[in-house]
Every structure is written in C-alpha cells, then in structure tokens.
Amino acid sequence: MHPFIIKVKKYIEQHQLIQSGDRLLLACSGGADSVAAVLTFYELKEFYNIKLGIVHTDHQLRGDESAGDMDFVEQLANRLDIPFYGATLEVPARVEAEGGNVQVICREERYAYFDTIMQQEHFDKLVLGHHADDQIETIVMSLVRGSLASSLTGIPITRPFSNGSIIRPFLCVTKEEILDFVQVQEQSYRHDPSNDKHTYTRNRLRHTVVPLLRQENVHVADSIRTFVEKQQQDDIFLQKLAKEKFDQLVTIQSKSSFFMDTIEFSEIPVALQRRVILILLKYLYDSSNTLLNNRLIESILAACNEQDGNTMIHLPKGFFLKRHYSQVQFSSYPIHSLPIQTQLIDEDCWSTVGAGYSIYLTRNLNEQVPSDEKWFIQLENDSLPLSVRPRMEGDRIHLKGMSTPKKVSRLFIDEKIPTEERVVWPILVSAKNDIMAVIGLRYGQQFEKNRNTQNFVLYVRVIKP
C-alpha cells in the first residue's frame, strides 16, 4: 500500500470517518485533489467494505473546457467500474436572472445536486478533497477578513449533510503530497485555469502568502492542522455549554420570536455569550448567506448586557432586537400599533379597550363575572357614560395615598411600559374627562377592592394572545 494511502487511512481511523458497509459518494471535479481521492478510496474499498459512487457537476462557465471535465470524470468512473452521477447546472441562467455572487450560486447549485444524489441513491457520506493547504488558506482568510466564529476552527473534518455527513479525509495531506501521489500512479487530471487567477482572495493567498509561510516553516501545514484540531475540540465543548445556556436563558415563542432576560445573560462568560447569540441567530436565519458581521454581533452583545432604558437594533431580512429594560425580544419587524380611538363603555357587556385588556361595567353588584380583576366604584349620573381614550399631554390621575395627582407619563415610566405601547394603552375617563384608571396598571382613589356602598362593579380581563 502506497505511503500516501497509509497516511490517509491512519487519519480516517483516528477520526473514525468511515464504518464498514458505508456508501461513499466521491465529489470529483477532475482536478488532482479529487482524482487522488477517487484512487485512494478505490484502493481502500475492499479493506473497509464500502461502496463507492462518483458525482460531478458542470457549471457551464468555461464552455467546452468544463464539458471536457465532465467527460474525463465519467471515463475515470467507467474505467474503475464506479457508478457515475453527473449534471449540467443552469448557473449562467440563474446568474442572469438573479445577479449575485457567481461562486455562491455555483456552490448552492452544486450542493443541491449532491444532496439529491445522496438521498436518491442512499449514500451515507459525501467525500470532499479539501487538503492541508486549503486549511492554511482558510485560517489566513479568517484572520484577514475577520470571522463571526468565536474561535478559528477552520474547515471541519466532518459535518452533517443531507441524509448523512460530509467527510474530508485529505486534511492530513498537502497539495505537494497529492501531486506526487497521482504522478506515481501515472494518473492524468484536469486543470481549471481560474485557479491561477488572482481575482479571488483564496487564489492570491495560495500563490503569495502560503509560500512565504512555508519558507518560515516547512511543516506549517502540520502545525496549523494540529492547531485547528485543538480549536475544534475546544469549540465542540464550548458549543455544548452554550446550547445548555441557550435552553436555560432563551424562551422560544415561535419560529421567529425569542425572548431573553439580560440580567441572567450578563452573568455567563463572554465566550458563551457570543455563542448563545450565534445559536439564536441561526434559528432566525436558516441561510448561511445572511449578511451578519462582527460589528452587528458586538452591538447585540452590548444590548444584551444592559438593563436600563430601551434599545432597538434593526437586523437583516426584516428582523429586529428590542430591549425593554432587562427583557430582550428578537422577532420579525414590529408593526407600529395605531393609537386607540375614544370609545364609550356600554354597561353589562365586555368592551375590548386595547393593550390586551377588556372591561365589563355593571350595576349588578351580585353578578359573578369571571375576570382577572374586580373593582367597586361609586359613580354619579354626571360621570356617565364612561369612556376610554389614549393618553393626552398633561394627563394626571388621583391615586390613593398620594396628596397630589400623578402624571400618567411618569406612571408609564415607573411601570416600565415600552414607548410604543403607551400610545395604545387605555385610559378610563368619566363624562367630564376626569381620569379614573389606567386599565391594568393603576386605578384612581374612587376604586375599592371591597364592597361597601358603591353602585357599580368594574371587571377587567386580560385577553389571551
């Protein structure tokens, strides 16, 4: 067995990437890396008792050249008697219709086809040919561009995909080792000239920065692989802790509405805070293409570590963060409520008055009406009919135990009512426009909990959402 294959085999077993009987789908572009993967697993298939398939996609971006790649990979599959699955993807048509990043569209279309074949043909694992040099480039790109991740974890060895997982058994070998292997095997391969262009950041790093790193340390690939694997191990542990904290701290009201207490959140370590926020954002945004950035994450963290006043942060795709004192809500964009209109209160029936309340006014003191609150009050004829209206500038209410009326605006602040809710909060007034109650919050000095000589009962009920 060739030393290259022995090295890959050792890596596979170290990370338990393959089990006996697995069905492996090998993604093969026709380049040296993926061709080497095909040859390696063809050599190992009897040892591991595995079944193989080869998948290839033509993005139609290089005309006859990319069509030639398809023919090459199909011939390789036929020579090795491995089932071949190929597709010509309508990338140019989608780019013309939608615009956007060509590389992102290629990746989406390619992985969608991989997913289809995985499910239709019942493959367990998708094998990709990313190698140690790709890992170097990824780590350097993360450092240069900045990363939302809480640690530099690089390209994962394995991750869930479709009905199984993706595995990358070549992360232990360098590009040079791959080229040496295919040369010894006397195996030709295809070359994509776009990989030589400095148009893409990864290509520039590959051709300029990585060689400099190798001059400083010829074993830089091994050093970075060891570093990344340690980072990944630490990150798995921290992610487990963060998910436990997420479950404790975050209340999921719906698929697009989450609540959290900032007092409890601020008590956990910052390393877990950042991960909890990223977990929450993954619930909001299924697509990895959502434009999140470090500045936004830092703003969210700052808002979630405060308890005073109110904060609102607009998030991508119509979501927002709204903090009211120590309560934070992540939800879809708020629809601003219209102020309530003045409404006369009829007797002996329920009236929906706003802010989630309804009231029932009656002279029948013996009637038992199911409710959340019950108040007795003496009302003279010149006070009737009662009505509810929105708050007005200068409104004051006489409260029991206070020598002077209290400003309703101050009452809202003391009760920590969000600014946008104050415009829909019902103020109960008499026919003379005297303020009698701020429904659900405070009731004027005329109201009593116990029955004496009063002639009316006011029932208050919270309307369930």
pLDDT band at 335 (very low <50, low <70, confident <90, very high): very low
pLDDT at 5: 97
The whole-angstrom separation of Cα 342 and Cα 338 is 13
Residue-by-residue DSSP string for 49-112: T-EEEEEEEE-SSSTHHHHHHHHHHHHHHHHTT--EEEEE--HHHHHHHH-S-HHHHHHHHHHH
pLDDT at 151: 64
Q: List the one residue out of 139, 108, 109, 113 whose CA is nearest residue 126.
A: 113
pLDDT band at 149 (very low <50, low <70, confident <90, very high): low
pLDDT at 310: 78
Q: Residues 232, 150: contact at Cβ < 8 Å?
A: no
Convert the pLDDT of each residue in 207-239 to its tens digit. 999 999 999 999 999 999 999 999 999 999 999
The whole-angstrom separation of Cα 321 and Cα 257 is 10
Q: Which amino acid is at 97?
A: A
Answer whether residue 288 shows pLDDT above 70. Answer: no
pLDDT, the chain, mean? 90
Q: Residues 60, 33: contact at Cβ < 8 Å?
A: no
Answer whether residue 148 shows pLDDT above 80. Answer: no
Higher pLDDT, 294 or 378: 378
Specify the DSSP class assigned to residue 381: G
The whole-angstrom separation of Cα 437 and Cα 363 is 18
Answer whether residue 336 shows pLDDT above 90. Answer: no
Answer whether residue 317 shows pLDDT above 80. Answer: no
pLDDT at 339: 54
H or E stretch at 238: helix 220-249
Task: Give the predicted TM-score (pTM) of the model.
Answer: 0.68
Higher pLDDT, 390 or 99: 390
pLDDT at 221: 94
Convert the pLDDT of each residue in 273-285 to its tens digit. 999 999 998 888 8
SS3 call for 445: coil
Structure tokens belonging to residue 432? 């003379």
Structure tokens belonging to residue 150? 């809480």
Convert the pLDDT of each residue in 104-131 to its tens digit. 899 999 999 999 999 999 999 999 999 9
Instruction: Give the chain's end-to-end CA distance (angstroms, integer).
Output: 68
Answer whether residue 185 shows pLDDT above 70. Answer: yes
SS3 call for 459: strand
Ordered by where they begin, the domains of the chain are 3-130+168-216 (3.40.50.620), 231-332 (3.30.465.60), 343-462 (no CATH)
